[in-house]
Structure 1
Amino acid sequence: MSTLNQTSRRDFMKIAAAAGGGLFLGFNWSDTTAAPVVVDAKQIAAGSVKFNSYLSIGSDNIITIVSPNPEIGQGIKTAFPMVVAEELDADWKLVKTVQGKLDNAAFERQVTGGSGAVPHSWERLRKAGATARHLLVNAAAAKWGVPAAEITTADSKLFHKASGKSAGYGEFAEAAGKLTAPTDIKLKDEKSFKLIGQSVRNVDNKNIATGKPLFGLDFYREGMLFAIIQRPKAFGFKLKSVDAAAAKAMPGIVDVVTFENSVAVVGKSTWQCKKAREVLKIEYEKAADLESSEDHNRIFSNLMDNGEATVRRKNGDVEAAFKSAAKVIKAEYQCPFLPHSPLEPMNFFAHVREDGVELVGPTQTPDRAREAAAKITGFPTEKITVEITRQGGGFGRRLSADFAIEAVHVSKLVKAPVKVIWTREDDMTGGTYRPAVRYRFEAALDKNGEMIGYKLRGVGINSGNPTREDNFPSGSVDNLLIDSVEHKSAITTGPWRAPITNFLAYAEQSFIDEVAEAAGKDPVQFRLALLEKAKKSPAGEVKYDVDRMIAVIKLAAEKSNWGKKKGVHQGFSVYFSHRSYVAQVGEVVVEKGKPTLKNIIAAVDCGIVINKSGSLQQVRGGVVDGVGHAMFGNMTFKAGTPDQSNFNGFRLIRMNEIPEVDVHFVDNGISPTGLGEPALPPAGGAVANAFYKATKQRLRNQPFINEEAFKGIS
């Protein structure tokens, strides 16, 4: 382990010193077995300690911790200190958080993605808080001359009931800082939690509401330049020549530079750069096939039948099962490319100096930005610092580092600090997109309506493996084959919120409803019967928790009063992703002959809920995101050029189209699992299955608005 970089340490010390000093704990995010360690503040300042995060308690009772993971709206900057405060019995109003800078040698997982931040840090944070409380209790016991076991804590105060003595944590912080931390610490029983599970406001709410500079777009450095970049307008083109004379002559323009496949206009304001970009004369030449959406349909059809498939999972004798089947059900589902379209477009600041590189901006993967900067500049990574700003959305887009790479290139070329800013059109047409995918499902039923065979083939465009071969219904069908085929394209793709499962869940859950109907069975009972099969006589390895999935199915059915509401058409969906389980029931009501989505009832098992209000918003946001993109989201291409470049052409869900979202959490006491993404995948299936109940027409392609069965509905 190494220490935090100088910038992080300086920020922490500034806050801790203002609090008057006191107790300093170091703890390791990368090792759940390592105990927190008491350190001297001078050691932190000198950089001579070998842990990677800090907790301090000052003489003024202020509690400060370093949070290493980027805050992208999922609430970890609030959840992390809540966990510490719970074990510490702290007064929440006295807890402060410092955003840690990049230090990949110290932080094991300084990434926001995959809904993994809280599961990764849960036990580490609890140990830090519990250790601090233990030290304070023992410091007070020594001064008061009483047994430590007789001292209780609450709201950042220590109490000895027998003697009537009490004191704030700050009074004993310095003495606690001179004690040795225990190597093993007892954590609270989850049933005694007081703060965890409550609704707590996001720690940045006030600053966001009052317009304080938090986000990458807010960042400003005196003397910095701005850059707007022209990239090829079509995927499959490369830069041939540039005539920048007219652009360079425009007011405020400092330079026009080229690198890789891009042209950067650099100037004193974003507007001046944007106007100058419009007069650039650029020639491109073809470097790859220029694909259109019509081409993709032909590609899907060809590869579905003739593509060389990679087998992802096979159980039993699939061909024999289908030959003996009393009934075979087949269906295909397709989804388009989708842009991420976060509210804050891509942006990044870079200053390539003679002695190193400074990077500042919104990134989900700060280490990726630093590694790229090292390759471009030749500096070792220890000479490159990355400051992480709050991020105005990302949904996987900011896992890439292309916008940071651009800033480094431009700064190096113009020898000045530069901030690259993308326009909305740049953001929507510059990639990277959710991959377009088509799935073909086949199911074999015996004479009793039992599913004895299952096939799934996924064909994706730059999707890698477009299946999740070990997810349900795998393990519940004796004879199963899942394979995939990939088409390589010049259109760039990348992770999009709940990668792959964002569409696969809809397709799988819609198809399971089709199979249940063919079997003459209730969709919920059909799923439960399959899960009981996976539990009692599994077909191959089962890599999901059957009991947790059964529990959310039953909870969603109960809370929605499944199948018992008159005049309400209900659709069911359930999915496992990012270690969590979510079941949803969509409810459609026909009003004046028009089917309308009214409600989504969601049952969620994400383990212990840390911040109830934040968790509710994560689920509701995921549902709305899933519903909106399933119904309306569509990115199409003509000869490699995106047809949609802004929200006037790319349809988002509107306020009056958002259903009520009723959320219920499973209380099972297990450690927290992911929550930023798991609510999105089941949403499309719940909606599609509900609309089928209302219209008797299947929605097999996204966006639904382009389907004949959906036209006239919205």
Structure 2
Amino acid sequence: MTTSKQQITFNRRSFIKTTALASGGMLIGFNLFQACKEGVVPPVDISQLNFNDFNAFIKISDEGKVTIFSPNPEIGQGVKTSMPMLIAEELDVKWEDVYVEQGKLDTKNYTRQVAGGSQSIRFSWEPLRQTGATAKQMLINAAAIRWGVEASSCSAKQGVITNSNGDVLGYGDVVKEAALLEVPEKVILKKPEAFTIIGKGQSNVDIDKIITGKPLFGLDYKEEGMVYASILRPPAFGQKLESYDDTAARAMPGVLDVITIGEKLRQYKDNKKKSWTAQLVDSDKIVVIGKSTWDALKGVKAIKASWVTDSDLESTADHDRILFELLDGKKTFTTKRSDGDVKKAFDEADKVLERTYEAPFLPHNCMEPMNFFANVTAEKVHLVGPIQTPEETAKVVADLLERDLNQVEIEMTRMGGGFGRRLYSDFVLEAAEISNAIQKPVKMVSSREGDMTTGVYRPSVKYKIAASIKDGKVTGYHLKEACINGGMYNLIPNFFPAGAIANYQVDTVSYKSNITTGAWRAPYTNFLASAEQSFFDELAEALGVDRIKLHLDLLQNVKGTTDERIQYSPERLEGVIKLAVEKSNWGQPKAGVYKGFSVYYCHNTHVAEVAEVAMEDNMPVVKRVVCAVDCGIVVNPLGALNQVKGGVIDGVGHALYGDFSFKDGVPQFNNFNTYQLIRMAQTPEVEAYFVESDLAPTGLGEPTLPPVGAAVANAIYAATGNRVYKQPYLNNMKVEQNILG
């Protein structure tokens, strides 16, 4: 963490400097550990400069303008704006003189070119600031040499260097000399109180292009001679292609060809270690090649295909039965953490409270359906589109096509939604195999129906939570998880209430399904927080204690702990609890308004939320959510506010409405006319409050989603007297009460 002015030793290998450009200016490369992306059109013609050897660097022009190239994907989380702010702050330039451009995948110079896990700013906080500070010091050194003075007698501010005699030079005046100097071994970073860009709200650097419809997204990308492809995949998980009749499709005027793909995908899966991003379906797929997206989509609808059942055709009823059986011990659990003696605590208890919580599969429902451009030639594999894992995807494509990795070139576009779906490369592999087969540049575009019914889903999960009570105190806590295809990140064991209850155990068990599952916004915690914090609300009631006091008392048990497994800070959780209570007027009743509380830690950030519900036509309606966040230093308050509100609204919508089921392997929803996302008229007012901090930033794209489900559930209980244990809540208001042990 960076809380004060400090001397930093810079890793020279992560700081690449070139000599002066023939056209003037200096190039400085830096190693980004996380995300960022493209920018606005600068007043200088940067297209004439040679940037081919870099994909993430600073360009300082003779005019003093700064262009920052960043290599990581932008999925709406705002890192394309906030990450350049870190560099500009330490470089000490005016924000209006900074321009941002998107770089390509470059595995030689950069690591972790990934958009995921809400880790972009956290991982890049010091490296990017070091980059800016190092560039500034080089410019100061160049000015000092010209003046014949010590560099220590010079300072820089807003792109202007000044010495003790009052002489001034702009960055552009000395940029050529600076490009010839050695990279400083050590630099000084600013104290937080000296920030002039960090902590000030800045508009999205792409906002003008977004609102005027300029090409930014994968669907916008075009190349000369490009054709379009749409794919007919098995309608049910567990089926394979048997035969098909493409006569009607081929007769359509815009259809160019009909082919099948799948052989290379099967060879890759059989002969290589399958990447976690691949998520392959074991079936041939029918591809319609068209002159336009519309031609290809219409052609797919004209195909008559026969499918054969290859494995079990699973239904939601099957999953429910299997998960309940697993929770009851049909299969051995894996213990993730065990403190004390839970069995003894339960045996000696005066009372045991046990509840079961259920969540369905969920699709990602990105507004921009899956798509990708591919042009496979003898020289290279050129790929362009929206992907969260470009480096891993390049490796998989190279293996798939049996090409050298250095022949695979990926350009990243802005994404119309990711939420974890674009961590997976299946749609990129499809585009690559199609281009390889037809030997043409092709844009693969999924229909909304194809995207929703053949995707990668959040797995269905059930939690059984039990607590033992002795002499009015919580003495034991036992969490059991039964999940389709298991969890991904093993985050459960060391979050609250780990460490707060002496006898504490977390067990997991899973069922292997042929339905593809994966990360969904705030993986693991997106429903776990709802389950645990709903349980704690009921536990407080069973104990006869105030809900807020129960949390604060338990946190006292964690303060001063030496248990390095504990990932949350009890002090920071306490801070957001008190802030949420204050800002929501928690203890002050208001007629017709019912409140629910929740607090959670995930993705390195502490969040407390209070939801307010009113009854309309005998149904609960979420009117307001107050959200208190401790994410360390807030780099871009405007972007942070958008992230908080987006996460809360997304969480409210899926908790109330999100449902996805299967019948004999077939998804039962295929478009937004039947699958309900939250509508604008249903969105609550969201108030966000940030804890003032000088600690290094943490995640923000995901942490505000998990706790809101429980805040809503607890508010529904306050309004109706009924507990809800199954999402989506509004579809499951009449559920059978669990048995009190």
TM-score norm. by structure 2 comes to: 0.89
Task: Find the aligned partners of 2:426 and 2:241 in 1 and give their Cα distance.
Answer: 17
Q: 1:61 is paired with a residue of what secondary structure?
A: coil
Q: Which of 303, 309, 316 lines up with 1:293 in the alignment?
A: 316
Kept in 1: contact 2:643–2:700 (CA 8 A): yes
Q: 2:187 is paired with a residue of what secondary structure?
A: coil
Q: Which amino acid aligns with 1:222?
A: E
Q: 2:183 is paired with a residue of what secondary structure?
A: coil
Task: Find the aligned partners of 2:396 and 2:549 in 1 and give their Cα distance.
Answer: 51
Task: Find the aligned partners of 1:318 and 1:665 in 2 and give their Cα distance.
Answer: 37
Kept in 1: contact 2:55–2:103 (CA 8 A): no
Q: Which amino acid aligns with 1:195?
A: I
For 1:426, the equivalent position in structure 2 comes to 450
Task: Find the aligned partners of 2:589 and 2:148 in 1 and give their Cα distance.
Answer: 66
Alignment of 1:335-350 (within 5 A): 335-350=359-374
Moved more, 658-667 or 239-248: 239-248
Q: Does 1:264 align with 2:271?
A: no
Task: Find the aligned partners of 1:46 and 1:223 in 2 and give their Cα distance.
Answer: 24
Moved more, 237-246 or 471-480: 237-246
For 1:249, the equivalent position in structure 2 comes to 251
Structure 1 position 255, deviation (Å): 1.5
Q: Which of 525, 545, 549 lines up with 1:525 in the alignment?
A: 549
Kept in 2: contact 1:216–1:362 (CA 8 A): yes
For 1:477, the equivalent position in structure 2 comes to 501
Kept in 1: contact 2:55–2:69 (CA 8 A): no
Task: Find the aligned partners of 1:416 and 1:456 in 2 and give their Cα distance.
Answer: 53
Q: Which amino acid aligns with 1:207?
A: K
Task: Find the aligned partners of 1:533 and 1:413 in 2 and give their Cα distance.
Answer: 62
Alignment of 1:438-449 (within 5 A): 438-447=462-471, 449=472
Q: Which of 44, 53, 56 lines up with 2:59 in the alignment?
A: 56
Q: Which of 127, 132, 137 lines up with 2:135 in the alignment?
A: 132
Task: Find the aligned partners of 2:455 and 2:27 in 1 and give their Cα distance.
Answer: 45
Q: 1:435 is paired with a residue of what secondary structure?
A: coil
Structure 1 position 517, deviation (Å): 0.8
Q: Which amino acid aligns with 2:553?
A: A
For 2:106, the equivalent position in structure 1 comes to 103
Q: Does 1:406 align with 2:430?
A: yes
Are the structure 2 counterparts of residues 282 and 92 from structure 1 closer, same or farther at C-alpha, using a change threshold of 3 Å? same
Q: Which amino acid aligns with 2:296?
A: C
Q: Which amino acid aligns with 1:294?
A: A
For 1:450, the equivalent position in structure 2 comes to 473
For 1:35, the equivalent position in structure 2 comes to none
Q: 2:646 is paired with a residue of what secondary structure?
A: helix
For 1:280, the equivalent position in structure 2 comes to 303
Any unmatched runs of 5+ in structure 2? 1-10, 35-47, 263-282, 737-741
Structure 1 position 209, deviation (Å): 1.1
Q: Which of 614, 637, 640 lines up with 1:615 in the alignment?
A: 640
Q: Which of 701, 710, 713 lines up with 2:726 in the alignment?
A: 701
Kept in 2: contact 1:397–1:432 (CA 8 A): yes
Deviation track 1:510-551 (CA, whole Å, cap 9, x = no partner) reads 001111110111111101111111225688942322222121
Q: Does 1:175 align with 2:177?
A: yes
Kept in 1: contact 2:486–2:509 (CA 8 A): no
For 2:486, the equivalent position in structure 1 comes to 463
Q: Which of 220, 226, 230 lines up with 2:232 in the alignment?
A: 230
Q: Which amino acid aligns with 1:275?
A: K
Structure 1 position 467, deviation (Å): 6.5
Q: 1:186 is paired with a residue of what secondary structure?
A: strand
Q: Which of 584, 608, 612 lines up with 1:587 in the alignment?
A: 612
Q: Which amino acid aligns with 2:674?
A: G
Q: Does 1:94 align with 2:92?
A: no
Q: Which amino acid aligns with 1:603?
A: A
Structure 1 position 17, deviation (Å): 6.6
Kept in 2: contact 1:444–1:452 (CA 8 A): yes
Moved more, 534-543 or 639-648: 534-543
TM-score norm. by structure 1 comes to: 0.92
Are the structure 2 counterparts of residues 46 and 539 from structure 1 closer, same or farther at C-alpha, using a change threshold of 3 Å? closer
Q: 1:321 is paired with a residue of what secondary structure?
A: helix
Structure 1 position 52, deviation (Å): 7.1
For 1:355, the equivalent position in structure 2 comes to 379
Are the structure 2 counterparts of residues 385 and 700 from structure 1 closer, same or farther at C-alpha, using a change threshold of 3 Å? same
Q: Which of 204, 207, 210 lines up with 2:206 in the alignment?
A: 204
Alignment of 1:52-91 (within 5 A): 53-91=56-94
Q: 1:66 is paired with a residue of what secondary structure?
A: strand
Structure 1 position 593, deviation (Å): 5.8
Q: 2:558 is paired with a residue of what secondary structure?
A: helix
Are the structure 2 counterparts of residues 3 and 420 from structure 1 closer, same or farther at C-alpha, using a change threshold of 3 Å? farther
Q: 1:588 is paired with a residue of what secondary structure?
A: strand
Structure 1 position 201, deviation (Å): 0.6
Task: Find the aligned partners of 2:318 and 2:626 in 1 and give their Cα distance.
Answer: 39
Q: Does 1:303 align with 2:326?
A: yes
Are the structure 2 counterparts of residues 214 and 46 from structure 1 closer, same or farther at C-alpha, using a change threshold of 3 Å? closer
Q: Which amino acid aligns with 1:685?
A: A
Task: Find the aligned partners of 1:167 and 1:638 in 2 and give their Cα distance.
Answer: 71
Are the structure 2 counterparts of residues 454 and 637 from structure 1 closer, same or farther at C-alpha, using a change threshold of 3 Å? same
Kept in 1: contact 2:217–2:415 (CA 8 A): yes
Deviation track 1:185-240 (CA, whole Å, cap 9, x = no partner) reads 11001111111011101100011111111100000011011001000011110111
Kept in 2: contact 1:442–1:455 (CA 8 A): yes
Are the structure 2 counterparts of residues 538 and 573 from structure 1 closer, same or farther at C-alpha, using a change threshold of 3 Å? farther
Deviation track 1:559-595 (CA, whole Å, cap 9, x = no partner) reads 2222223333221111111111111111123467654
Q: Which amino acid aligns with 1:213?
A: P
Moved more, 150-159 or 314-323: 150-159
Kept in 2: contact 1:458–1:467 (CA 8 A): no
Task: Find the aligned partners of 1:242 and 1:588 in 2 and give their Cα distance.
Answer: 53
For 2:714, the equivalent position in structure 1 comes to 689
Q: 2:28 is paired with a residue of what secondary structure?
A: strand
For 1:548, the equivalent position in structure 2 comes to 572
Cα root mean square deviation, aligned = 2.5
Q: Which amino acid aligns with 2:198?
A: I
Q: 1:257 is paired with a residue of what secondary structure?
A: strand
Kept in 2: contact 1:311–1:481 (CA 8 A): yes
Q: 2:318 is paired with a residue of what secondary structure?
A: helix
Task: Find the aligned partners of 2:399 and 2:565 in 1 and give their Cα distance.
Answer: 42
Task: Find the aligned partners of 1:87 and 1:649 in 2 and give their Cα distance.
Answer: 50
Alignment of 1:497-646 (within 5 A): 497-536=521-560, 541-567=565-591, 568-590=593-615, 595-646=620-671
Q: Which amino acid aligns with 1:460?
A: C
Task: Find the aligned partners of 1:206 and 1:555 in 2 and give their Cα distance.
Answer: 35
Q: Which amino acid aligns with 1:133?
A: K
For 2:461, the equivalent position in structure 1 comes to 437
Are the structure 2 counterparts of residues 676 and 330 from structure 1 closer, same or farther at C-alpha, using a change threshold of 3 Å? same
Structure 1 position 458, deviation (Å): 0.6
Any unmatched runs of 5+ in structure 1? 32-41
Kept in 2: contact 1:442–1:454 (CA 8 A): yes
Are the structure 2 counterparts of residues 46 and 646 from structure 1 closer, same or farther at C-alpha, using a change threshold of 3 Å? closer
Alignment of 1:310-329 (within 5 A): 310-329=334-353
Moved more, 383-392 or 274-283: 274-283
Structure 1 position 665, deviation (Å): 0.9
For 1:151, the equivalent position in structure 2 comes to 154
Deviation track 1:637-672 (CA, whole Å, cap 9, x = no partner) reads 111101100001111112122111111111221111
Task: Find the aligned partners of 1:627 and 1:214 in 2 and give their Cα distance.
Answer: 29
Q: Which of 19, 22, 29 lines up with 1:26 in the alignment?
A: 29
Deviation track 1:141-188 (CA, whole Å, cap 9, x = no partner) reads 33344554443433222334753x333221121122222221111100
Q: 1:250 is paired with a residue of what secondary structure?
A: coil
Structure 1 position 406, deviation (Å): 0.5
Alignment size in residue pairs: 687
Kept in 2: contact 1:476–1:538 (CA 8 A): no
Q: Which amino acid aligns with 1:263?
A: I
Task: Find the aligned partners of 1:500 and 1:683 in 2 and give their Cα distance.
Answer: 15
Are the structure 2 counterparts of residues 705 and 378 from structure 1 closer, same or farther at C-alpha, using a change threshold of 3 Å? same
